[in-house]
């Protein structure tokens, strides 16, 4: 803590741009800065579970895998993302959606308390009693208000889930997507499924005859009674065409979280764009399939992540996260290992987004936004909460010291 305070004071006194690095997973690159100061929290990786209270204290440098490893021993989990390498701090401060979100809400909905170093170097604890307005801002407002050094979360039961990916060839995608939008509207909270348009990886454990095929995938995850979970996924299987690959079955939640880590090692080139999505009309489905057919690399993808169920049962003004009426959070990611392919990855993602955005809402999940989206896009993301965030920015960071982020500007 003392080092963080010293770093904030040094950056402020020397008028340096400050980047805050947690788990180091940020797509737009806000965990680093040129000609500025990086406050690297990645060594702050302590996790303490209180199984009686079902709470978890998490250091700001933790990845979700660090936390899952600790909580799984007690049959608990926190609603985080869908890969274990994601940093807890960045994921949480911008909302945090994942496999358990429909059942237990966003990560911010389970955030009880945060330790924060403010722009003047002072330390505060933000909870519902002390600095409650700051806690409200941290629940979705990003790194705009200070350096969070630890988080206290509520945890929930999650041990073995019935989960895994089911793949169909792209020719079946229109049928799968039309079924999916109807299924989503009536699915029980414990049944989560995200949809992807991507490519079968060329390597084990995927069958060689399917390597490189363009596909539509459903990643299902049912965190309920085992018999009910299998029955629910079997009903999905019965409703849809025969898949080319089906890896869904009983699996520890911990293993589900790190299932895809090996497909996306560090060092890849990424360019991603996002949107909040409320509806999925047939015309939008046609655009998705057309753009997915032009994918420039085997690793590139489009995913639709559900953000309904429990997420919808909080009011839009209850947290800084505003888009409580969206159905999905969409990400389009151009991904590859060849530096020479980077321009093509970027152009594909931009073209895809420009084609599909007219069907989507104005804002996006901040973690899926680029560093050059512009103030209008940020305002659209926070909606009616933007003005309140601006006033809190004026209170807690009037000089906009913490601006290497999806920046909320101070407002009188």
Q: Supply 190's token pair.
A: 């414990």
Task: Look at the chain and report how many structural domains it folds into.
Answer: 2
* pLDDT on residue 37: 97
* Whether residue 233 is found in the same domain as residue 182: yes
pLDDT digits (tens, 9 = 90+) for 109-144: 999 999 999 999 999 999 999 999 999 999 999 999
Q: Quick check: 53 pLDDT over 90? A: yes
Domain endpoint, select from 157, 174, 209: 157
* Whether residue 201 is found in the same domain as residue 235: yes
Domain endpoint, select from 99, 126, 157: 157
Would you tell me how many other CB atoms lie within 10 Å of the CB of residue 326? 23
Q: Quick check: 101 pLDDT over 90? A: yes
Residue 25 — very low, low, confident or very high, per pLDDT cuts 50/70/90?
confident
* pLDDT on residue 316: 84
Among residues 11, 122, 135, 74, the alpha carbon closest in space to that of 402 is found at: 11
Instruction: Flag whether the pTM goes above 0.85.
Output: yes
Structural domain harbouring 224? 160-368
* pLDDT on residue 207: 96
Q: Quick check: 26 pLDDT over 90? A: no
For 286-312, what is the mean pLDDT?
97
* Whether residue 197 is found in the same domain as residue 279: yes
* Whether residue 191 is found in the same domain as residue 241: yes
* Whether residue 208 is found in the same domain as residue 323: yes
Q: Distance between CA atoms of 255 and 107, rounded to whole angstroms?
A: 19
Among residues 152, 165, 255, the alpha carbon closest in space to that of 207 is found at: 165
* Whether residue 253 is found in the same domain as residue 186: yes
> Has residue 400 been placed in a domain?
no
* Whether residue 356 is found in the same domain as residue 207: yes
Burial profile 251-275: b = 16 or more Cβ within 10 angstroms, e = fewer:
bebbebbbbeeeeeeeeebbbbbbb
* Whether residue 176 is found in the same domain as residue 77: no
> Has residue 401 been placed in a domain?
no
């Amino acid at each position: 803590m003392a080092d963080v305070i010293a770093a904030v004071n040094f950056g402020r006194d020397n008028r340096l741009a400050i980047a805050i690095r947690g788990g180091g997973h940020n797509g737009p690159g806000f965990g680093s800065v040129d000609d500025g100061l990086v406050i690297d929290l990645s060594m702050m990786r302590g996790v303490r579970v209180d199984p009686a209270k079902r709470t978890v204290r998490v250091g700001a440098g933790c990845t979700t895998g660090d936390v899952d490893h600790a909580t799984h021993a007690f049959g608990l989990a926190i609603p985080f993302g869908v890969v274990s390498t994601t940093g807890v701090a960045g994921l949480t401060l911008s909302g945090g959606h994942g496999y358990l979100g429909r059942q237990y809400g966003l990560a911010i909905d389970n955030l009880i308390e945060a330790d924060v170093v403010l722009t003047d170097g002072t330390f505060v604890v933000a909870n519902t009693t002390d600095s409650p307005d700051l806690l409200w801002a941290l629940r979705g407002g990003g790194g705009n208000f200070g350096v969070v050094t630890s988080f206290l979360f509520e945890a929930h039961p999650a041990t073995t889930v019935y989960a895994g990916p089911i793949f169909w060839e792209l020719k079946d995608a229109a049928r799968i997507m039309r079924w999916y939008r109807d299924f989503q509207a009536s699915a029980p909270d414990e049944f989560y499924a995200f949809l992807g348009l991507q490519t079968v990886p060329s390597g084990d454990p995927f069958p060689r005859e399917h390597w490189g095929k363009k596909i539509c995938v459903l990643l299902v995850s049912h965190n309920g009674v085992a018999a009910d979970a299998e029955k629910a996924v079997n009903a999905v299987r019965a409703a849809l065409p025969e898949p080319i690959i089906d890896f869904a079955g009983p699996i520890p939640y911990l293993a589900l979280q790190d299932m895809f880590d090996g497909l996306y090692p560090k060092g890849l080139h990424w360019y991603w764009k996002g949107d909040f999505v409320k509806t999925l009309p047939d015309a939008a489905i046609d655009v998705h399939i057309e753009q997915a057919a032009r994918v420039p690399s085997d690793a590139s993808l489009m995913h639709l992540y559900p953000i309904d169920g429990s997420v919808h049962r909080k009011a839009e003004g209850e947290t800084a996260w505003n888009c409580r009426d969206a159905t999905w959070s969409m990400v389009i990611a151009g991904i590859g290992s060849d530096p020479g392919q980077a321009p093509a990855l970027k152009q594909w993602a931009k073209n895809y987004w420009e084609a599909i955005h007219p069907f989507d809402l104005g804002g996006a999940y901040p973690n899926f936004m680029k560093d050059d989206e512009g103030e209008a896009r940020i305002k659209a993301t926070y909606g009616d909460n933007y003005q309140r965030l601006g006033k809190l920015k004026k209170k807690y960071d009037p000089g906009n010291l913490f601006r290497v982020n999806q920046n909320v500007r101070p407002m009188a």
